[in-house]
Amino acid sequence: MAQSIRDDANIEFMLKAVLQLRDMEECYNFFSDLCTMPELKSMSQRLVVAKMLSQGHVYSEIVKATGASTATISRVNRSLLYGCNGYEEIFKRLEEE
C-alpha cells in the first residue's frame, strides 16, 4: 500500500514550519534556503498548470504558456480530478484577496 504524506514525520515537520511563515519576505527566505531553484520552478509551474486547467485551458495552451510537459499537465489534472482539493481551496482563497 502507498504511504500517505500524512504518515511521514519529516513532511509533517516541514508543513508545520511553512505554517509559521508570516509574510512574503519570510516565504522568499525560507523557500530559498529549503529548495533549489529548479525545485521552486517545478512547484510553481505545477501550480500555474493547475490554475489554467481549472480555468478550462486546453493542454496545448498550457504547454505554450508554461513550458510544462504533457505528462506534468496530466499529473496535475489527475490531482484536480481525484486529489484532496488542495488546489481548489488555495485558488478560492487567492480570489478572495
- 11 and 51 in a single domain? The answer is no
Determine the angle formed by the axes of helices 37-54 and 70-82, rounding to 10 degrees: 60
17 and 52 both lie in a single domain = no
> At residue 62, what is the residue type?
I
Domain coverage including residue 2: 1-34
- Shared domain check, 90 and 67: yes
pLDDT (tens digit per residue) in 2-53 = 578 889 999 999 999 999 999 999 999 999 999 999 999 999 999 999 999 9
Model pLDDT for residues 41-87, shown as the tens digit of each residue = 999 999 999 999 999 999 999 999 999 999 999 999 999 999 999 99
Task: Please name the residue ranges forming H helices in the chain.
Answer: 9-18, 24-34, 37-54, 59-66, 70-82, 86-96
Q: Please tell me the predicted confidence (pLDDT) of residue 2.
A: 58
Q: What is the pTM of this model?
A: 0.91
Judge if 27 and 58 occupy the same domain. no
